[in-house]
Structures are given as C-alpha cells and as structure tokens.
Structure 1
C-alpha cells in the first residue's frame, strides 16, 4: 500500500559542484595586491559584479526613469530606412521630423522635476550598478538616435557643427557622466556594446528594428563579437594581475606559468575573432551603413566609438608597455573610471621593464610571445577591415566612427588613411 510513495522516490543524486566563473574567481582571489584590487574593482564597480558587464533594464530602474525605455521603443522603428536619400533638403526634413517626434515623446512621457529628484537620490544611494549600466545604455541610444536623426547616417547630419539636445536627454547624461567618470557627450563601448547584450543574448536596444535578417544579424554579431572577446579574455586579465603579483612576490616561475596560460587564452580568442568577423555574420555593406555610422558622433571635435576603445586591446597595450598611452583627457572621454584605473595599474607596473631589469628570461619570453600575437592580430585586422571600411556610401561623407569625418574623397583614399593609422600602431607594437 506504500507503492505510491516508493514510485516517486529515487536515491539522491550526488551533489553537482559548479565551478565558479571567471568573474567570481577574481572577486574571491585571496592575493593581496593592487593589481588584483584594480581588477576586482573593474568587475564589481565597473561591471556590476561581472565582466563584461551585466546590465539590467527598465524594470530595475527607479520608476520615473522607466519612461526613457518607452521613448526609445516608440522611436526605434522610425530611425532606420532601407534606402537613404541623396537629396540634402529631403534628408534635412527627415532628420528634423525625427527629432521633433522624439522631443514630443520626451515631453509627453518624461517629468523633468521627478527625473531630477530621482537622479539625485539614486546618485546619493549609489544604486545598483547593473541598473545604472542599463540606464546608461538606454540614454546613449537615445542620444545617438537624436544626434543622427536617420540611419544610414547622411552628410546633412555630418555637416552639423553642433546639436542642441533636449533637456530630457541632457539631464540624465550629466548624472551618467558623473557616475561613470566620463566626459564625452556621446555613448561609448561600454554603453553601446558591452551593456547592450541582455542575459538571454538578445540586444536590448537595436538600430535595425523592423529591417531584414541580414541587418539584424550584422548588428547582433557586431555586439556579440565585442562582448565575447571580453568574456574569453577575462581569465587572461586575471592571469596578468596574478603575474604582476607573483613578480612582486619574487616568484618568476609562477609568473611564467601564468603568462604561458594567458598566451594560450589569447591565441584561442584571436582565432575566434577572425573566424567570426566574416561577411556571413557581419555583412560588409550593412555594417558600414547601419552599425559604424550610428556609433559615430562627429560633433564639436568629439569622436564616437572605435574598436581601439575596447578594453581588450587597451589592456594588452597597457600590460605590455606598448606606448604611447592616450592622454588622460582623451581616455576620460569614453573609458569609464574603473576601466581607466585597471589600465593605469598595468601601465604603472610595466611588467616587461621589471622582467628585463631582473633578468627573468623565461618571463620575458612569454611576454614577447604576447607581443607577437598582438602584432599578428593587428596585421590581420588591417586586411580584414578593408572590405568593411571601403564600402561606397554616397549618402554620407567618408567617416570612421572613432575618427569622424576623414579628409578622403573616396573609399580608396579612406583605406589608405586607415592603413596609415593602423600601420602606425603596428610599428609601435614591439
């Protein structure tokens, strides 16, 4: 008569031990060293508990701020067009109309006194960083959408020397600048890319909403590739910090082992990069028109987002002592404070100089291997970027997102300009 009991009973399964992820390992690292502390701050303060960041969106924000999410949702399908106009007057009408509709949505949905009071309270309480990151992303997308008025971007917008943004977008931006320690009026790699990938691997905000699959796929993979590279390299960041610690503990063998593992991680990540950066995932023509352009800024001498702002390559350069460093003022434009602190920690230590001074030959060899890998990547990237950057876009001036309008009359001259810029950095990678 107890069969009903035993029919649902099974012997307990052995406990499943889940290995902590890379971010958790960093937060729990017992090593007492500044390099570990700066990396821990990058994860905790810069990423909301993980790196790359874990952002949360409108449901996690204070109630008066959630209307910004609604504004973007109301506008997102109005931004992209299938075929951009080549007539300046028509483009001016399109841009002005889009901005007027966004101003109307903002005025209707956003209550300035409530937003101002809420932001003051949120700042004083520090808030949850993951929620700040999501809000940072939302306002960045709104500002870039307002700045361009249409995508693909057009020369009519590029020619603007300045744009007067609505108070509803300037007020929260000032708070976000203070919170993240940036000075640029534009979005950055953190807000446009790192924090825009939701936990279910869906872009939270899109500039190709309502477009075809190739548009959606290109925008998705452009962001996913950037995020995936940070995910894959985070264990190497940890090994870099540990290697510095081991050097200070006078344990070159442990430092060598850490760097050997970092070389393996970098090799696999760079292979993934080149296998992913292909036309079938990231379309040459769509990327130029619908991704690169939107990420630009080109106002009042301020540039937009570029791959050179990615934490991965700044970390590699900083750790390996590859100069020149960006000026503090230039880096503060787009790189949040926790990331800058991590980079400056690596620069201050200068592990290659320390290894050379102490004649740690095996450590130096592993560091040289990292430099060689970075050189190979930069040489490969010069070739890979050409089909993307050389696309003919007659509706706009030649422009890179991170350098703004370039003094190049056509795509061929544009490529020569970019090769010169990339070649300069390649020559410095020694």
Structure 2
C-alpha cells in the first residue's frame, strides 16, 4: 500500500512507525493508521520532512528567498505607531516580491509541481512536506510583514499575495487536501522539526536566546507529544481489531497499555510547559502571533489542530464533532480519514453494546476519558499566564480564533476560559 514510494522504509524510520507498518494484523483501523504514517507523514509519524536538496530544482529558490529575508522579519522592540508599522510591513513585502521575481521562474515551478503530482516517484512525500513548510513560512511572513505582529496588519481586510506564493499554494492544497490559505500545524510545526532536533526555519533569528528557545520548545512540545502517543494510536487500532474479533482480553490489554503510555505523554507536556522552556514574555509576541492569519474569516494555527487530542476525542466519541469543511481547512486528508474512522467506529458505544463481556474494556476507556479531563483542567490553568501578556502593539488575538472582541487581556482570558470550559464539560 504505497510502500513502493518509500524504498527501504522500515530501515529508516522510528521504531514506533516501523511497528505499525510491520504489524501483521489486518483490519481497517490498521489500514488507516498505516496511511497516516506513509501518506500523511512521508514514511513516519510525526512527519519527517526533507528540505531544499530533496526538492525538484525549480522549487529550491523558495528556500533562498526565505533565507534572504528571515533576519529582517523580527524586530527587537515593537512600535505602537501605525505609520511606522505600515512602512515596516510594506517594506518587507516589497523586498519579498523583489526576491521572488528575481529568483523564481513560475513556469518552471508549476511544471515541476505538475510532474510531482502526476509521478510520485519524482518527488517524495517527505519533500512535499518540506516544501509545504517553506511556503507556509513565506506566506505567513508576507501576511504579517513584521513580528511581533501589529494591529496595522490585523486591521487589513485582504492582502494581495504575489502569484509566486499563490499558484503553488493551490497545488499544495490539492496535494494535502487542505483548503486554508494559511499554514497549519502540519506545515508550520510538525514539518519544521529536523531529524537532528533543530528547527529548519525560524522567525527569531538574531533575537536573544530566550526567543529562540521559546520558538524551539513551542514546536518541540507538540512534535514530542506525537512521538510519544504514536504507540497509543497503534494500541487504539489494535483494540478495535481485537474487539471486532471478539477477543475482549487482548482488546483490554491494548487499552491498558495505551493508558500507561498516555500518562507518560501528558506528563511530558506539563513538565515541558515551563518558563525555562517557553518564556511568557516572549511566547505571545514572537511565537503565537505570526502563526495567526485573520484574513477572510480564516484562522491560523490552533492547539486544537493537534492530532494527539483530536485522536483522543475521536476515539472516545467526545462530541461535538467538527464540521467536515472546517476540519478540512487545516488537517490533511490522511489525518482526517484516520479521525473519521475512529468517530464512525465509536468504540465506547461498541463496548457498551457488548455488555458485561466488555466491562473491562469499558473501564479502560473511562480511564482514558479521566486522563483527558485532567489534562484539560491543567491546560486551562497553564495557558492563562501565556495568553494574558499585555501587547499594546496588537489587538487581542489568539492564532486559532483570530481577533477577539475583548477590550483587554482580562476579558480575553475570560473568553478563552469559557471556550475551554465548554470543551471540558463535553469531555465525558
């Protein structure tokens, strides 16, 4: 199943991914999980992107353009002067347009992308992911013009993107099955963590160490969670297969193992989300801000795009389910297919229908729900100091829900607490 696209695959990928691909168990749940690894991740999960040298030649100058501009995107001190900020934004965009015109042959780019679409052997999925990453960073930096982001850019109703950023983006949308004009967690975060544990692209180059550490951990935290929960996904798929086969003992054992691994993963989340890794004074301005979008009613990155927590919700039947059109904005096809299978299967309903025969299975499922509830309660407390930092140069905003109609940070936090509180109430 598409493994011919990735020669010597299992010899090159993390063991958890290899175990999924090598699992002899045959069930639709395993099929969708393997597709997540192969199609969604380029051969491993979390995705392992490859960068410039793996791309078709006409695409590589996009990397050149970003490298030429990355040091001029962040500023050390934000201004509240709209006239000054407008000059910064317009100047950055003008420089990017000049670099794009100088380095990019759009006809060659579109021909290369067309070839890559029609002949998968000519461009690996890992290379597609790396190019998706590069284009996302270019589009987000062009959209904002400066970071920390400023209200002058937030107030824009539309932005005319250069065709060198627009036309290839349509190819990327087709390839990954997303519809948003903005980047997503897969393109801006999952694909940005290199195999040698560094970020490929950054928006804090030239900034103090605290800025760079915070940017690193903002990505490391989410990618590290995916690394740790991939075996959980595997046990979820196996528990479904064994439940369908009528083997309640082995299904229960799989869920017990999932519960233990999830404890470790959630502990990693909270022990990593500390001031030494993610500076409160830096995070909102230099990390969260540029990941937003706010144009055309479309939002940018949200923690809700994390596959970890979407998988837990989908597997446990925690509703409401998102509208398919909204989820398609930011989640690639393979992720959505995996999630929709789990939702349609509804393991808690299946176990309940088996009655006493599946009582132990039901108990393990309820333990998973309790863990998720505890995480959401802790997350509500942890996020408040980060989201409540005063940034006078910008309107109150989260990257995932754009500008919030709140006059100050306290009202903003109340808005977020209501949203998170509603999700906590649904986690039953």
Cα distance, 1:285 vs structure 2: 1.3
Structure 1 residue corresponding to 2:15, chosen from 3, 13, 21: 21
Residue aligned with 2:101, SS: helix
**Structure 1, unaligned runs of 5 or more:** 1-16
Q: How does 1:148-187 map to 2 (within 5 A)?
A: 148-187=144-183
Q: How does 1:179-218 map to 2 (within 5 A)?
A: 179-218=175-214
Aligned position for 1:414 = 412
Aligned position for 1:231 = 227
Aligned position for 2:262 = 266
> 1:252 and 2:248 equivalent?
yes
Q: Could you give the per-residue CA deviations for residues 161-186 of structure 1, whole angstroms, max 9, x where no partner exists? A: 11110000011101100000000000
Q: Could you give the per-residue CA deviations for residues 198-255 of structure 1, whole angstroms, max 9, x where no partner exists? A: 1111100000011110000000011011100000000000000000000100011111
Q: Output the CA distance in 2 between the equivalents of 1:88 and 1:176.
A: 34
Residue aligned with 1:300, SS: helix
Q: Could you give the per-residue CA deviations for residues 94-121 of structure 1, whole angstroms, max 9, x where no partner exists? A: 0000000000000000001111111111
Q: How many corresponding residue pairs? A: 414
Structure 2 residue corresponding to 1:312, chosen from 308, 315, 325: 308
The structure with the largest alpha-carbon Rg is: 1
* TM-score (normalised: structure 1): 0.95
* TM-score (normalised: structure 2): 0.96
Q: Could you give the per-residue CA deviations for residues 30-80 of structure 1, whole angstroms, max 9, x where no partner exists? A: 111110000000000000110000100000000010000000000000000
Q: Output the CA distance in 1 between the equivalents of 2:87 and 2:99.
A: 18
Aligned position for 2:8 = none
CA RMSD of aligned residues (A): 1.2
Structure 2 residue corresponding to 1:373, chosen from 348, 371, 374: 371
Q: Could you give the per-residue CA deviations for residues 122-174 of structure 1, whole angstroms, max 9, x where no partner exists? A: 11112200000000000000000000000000000000011110000011101
Cα distance, 1:355 vs structure 2: 0.3
Q: Post-superposition, which runs of at least 4 consecutive aligned residues in structure 1 deviate over 6 A? A: 17-20
Q: Output the CA distance in 1 between the equivalents of 2:371 and 2:57.
A: 48
**Bigger mean CA offset, 118-127 vs 411-420:** 118-127
Aligned position for 2:5 = none
Aligned position for 2:143 = 147
**Structure 2, unaligned runs of 5 or more:** 1-10
Aligned position for 1:11 = none
Aligned position for 1:5 = none
Q: Output the CA distance in 2 between the equivalents of 1:238 and 1:395.
A: 45
Q: How does 1:129-144 map to 2 (within 5 A)?
A: 129-144=125-140
Aligned position for 1:3 = none
Cα distance, 1:372 vs structure 2: 0.3
Aligned position for 1:385 = 383
Aligned position for 1:74 = 68
Structure 1 residue corresponding to 2:81, chosen from 59, 76, 87: 87
Residue aligned with 1:105, SS: helix
> 1:30 and 2:20 equivalent?
no
Structure 1 residue corresponding to 2:321, chosen from 322, 325, 328: 325
**Structure 1 residues 20 and 405, CA gap change in structure 2 (3 angstroms):** closer
